[in-house]
Amino acid sequence: MQKLVYTIPESYGGCTVQQFLRGCAGLSWRMVVKLKRVPGGITLDGRPVRTIDRVGAGGRLVLLLPEDTVRIDGVDLPLDVVYEDPYLLVVNKPPLLAVHPSAFKAGPTLANIVVHHFAQSGQPLSFRPLNRLDRNTSGLLLAAKNAHIAHALTTHAANSKIEKFYLALALGRLEGGGVIDQPIRIREGSAITREVAGPGDAGGKPSVTHWESLAACDTLSLLRIRLETGRTHQIRVHMAWIGHPLAGDTMYGEDQTVMSRHGLHCAEMSFTHPVNGAAMRFQQELPEDMRRVVAEYFGEDFVL
């Protein structure tokens, strides 16, 4: 079983176990119920406690999470691990690798590789990615090792927000910076393709993209992009909407003379650790194919 260990802060001294779990620890109600059913699932300073019992500042609260259920097979392929601890895994996903298995695409996925990695480490765990990367997109991907961590980083406190920055190669010259604030919806008649929703169009969800130009020529621009929202294909849709689709993006553009896949890379990620409160920040340099393009268009000496 996985173990979560917390030290009760002064601000929660005298509160009930349940108040601490739901407040400070950010557990979902469902997880609290599951813990109550696990023998020794909640202990304080080595003694079993009930959720109505009180906790003292400085106490050591230990949770034993229920066993995980792994539903896909592992595959033994290389995995570029950027960071790992008992709660989190950060990997550098290569381009041309799907994140999840699909009935429409054969072959191993990042999910299969991560499940194998967990099993080899003596951790039979499911794959719970907390940010989405398209098959052709490379870069940092964060996964939680249990349902509680996933819940805490996606639905709990505002300071648990996962902030991501991307590097993108867009066609044409873009200089300065800007904000694209346009709703995105699924294109009518398609299950995959998205589009900017026009005035009066149904189904549009608020979508905000911040971009900054790092280098530009008449053919190509290198952009640093921050997402305020996280819609499917958001960067690709928004860049195409302003007339600068990503290089190599045949779904929202047409040109593949610069790259054979769309030029998008998750280069930086930061968040607050959901267990110990540490500030976490990771950076990942461009993959080889995007580095070659940058060198060709902006010079061998160009430094990000």
Active site residues: 134
**Hey, what's the torsion of the CAs at 190, 191, 195, 198, to 10 degrees?**
70
CA distances for 275 relative to 38, 48, 163, 175, angstroms: 20, 21, 18, 41
- Token output for 68: 């995980």
Of 233, 224, 230, whose CA–CA distance to 170 is shortest? Answer: 224
Residues 6 or more apart whose Cβ sits within 8 Å of residue 164: 131, 140, 226, 227, 266, 268, 269
Mode of pairing for the β-strands spanning 208-216 and 220-227? antiparallel
Contact criterion met (CB below 8 Å) for 113 and 80 = no
Cα separation, 108 vs 114, in Å, equals: 11
